[in-house]
Amino acid sequence: MKFGCQSEVDQIKSLLLKDPKDAFLSLDNIQSQWKELNYLASPDYDKALKEYDSFVEYLKKSISDIYYLPQNDKAGLDSIYVHDAVIITNKGAILCNMGKEKRRAEPSAAGEFLLELGIPILGSITGEGTLEGGDLVWIDERTLAVGLGYRTNEEGIRQLKELTRDMVDEFIVVPLPHWKGSGDVLHLMSLISPVDHDLAVVYSRLLPVPFREWLLRRGIQLLEVSDSEFESMACNILAVSPRKCIMISGNPQIKQLLEDKGVEVWEYGGEDISKKGAGGPTCLTRPLLRESS
């Protein structure tokens, strides 16, 4: 199959998902895991299934090929957030090494399925290196920004640079703040979501000044998320194609800013599949192929 995803905004042609029925499994399974995984509250299994169906229906309107990771006994609730375990480059998949200990089995499980799809494994982050997909932002096809924090460390970034040396011309390392500590989820994509090649939603209060100024020098206009809407995950937005995006409902301020820029916005209710596990629409999806129109 065709693959390649060195973009955050080009049209998604094929996509990897994991249905909550194969990640959450059951109410009893949720109850046994949610606290140790630092969820805000226990997801409601039945509501999660309904939310997910609504989310996927919109994806189907725009994306022709959708694949689902199967159930895996070694993977837990967090495996619904398929974005973090693997990276898809133009030469194949890179299997991450999760900074969150309870997620360490997810990359190999995803890798097995990608091989079945015909996507080669370019390499893996190993040893002391940690890397999670939520810390990577493709600014363009040959420019990659990577967050350095509690989930992605310097050794993981070093290995990533080596694996992508023929595909990346500019590699921007973005130090992330302590914020709420090592037990919380703060990826680079918690702070920036590109919605077009020259437009991104950001939470500037937590962005390093050098990186924010670098984005502006690149000609990228920044739409600012408010403090209140940052808490409700308004900065986690999935661009299905340039200026067409999906976001969690209940964030009217940033929605209006996006629509003022000609962005088509679709909202889903993500209380049980997103907010409780701190994983928005980007986290729920791993594009396998994006192509420019």
Cα gap 78→100, rounded to integer Å: 10
Mean pLDDT of 122-142: 98
CATH at 152: 3.75.10.10
Residue 285 lies in a domain: yes
- Domain residues for 180? 11-291
Task: Supply the pLDDT for residue 139.
Answer: 98
Domain tally, the chain: 1
Residue 293 has pLDDT above 80, yes or no: no
Residue 5 lies in a domain: no
Mean pLDDT of 197-206: 98
Residue 3 lies in a domain: no
**The pTM is what?**
0.95
Task: Supply the pLDDT for residue 184.
Answer: 83
Residues above pLDDT 90, as percent of the chain: 95
Q: How confident is the model at residue 182 (pLDDT cuts 50, 70, 90)?
A: confident
The predicted-structure confidence for 134-176, as pLDDT tens digits, reads as follows: 999 999 999 999 999 999 999 999 999 999 999 999 999 999 9
The predicted-structure confidence for 227-257, as pLDDT tens digits, reads as follows: 999 999 999 999 999 999 999 999 999 999 9
Q: What is the mean pLDDT of the chain?
A: 96
The predicted-structure confidence for 42-93, as pLDDT tens digits, reads as follows: 999 999 999 999 999 999 999 989 999 999 988 999 999 999 999 999 999 9
Residue 117 lies in a domain: yes
Residue 46 lies in a domain: yes
Residue 208 lies in a domain: yes
Residue 181 has pLDDT above 90, yes or no: no
Residue 2 lies in a domain: no
Residue 1 lies in a domain: no
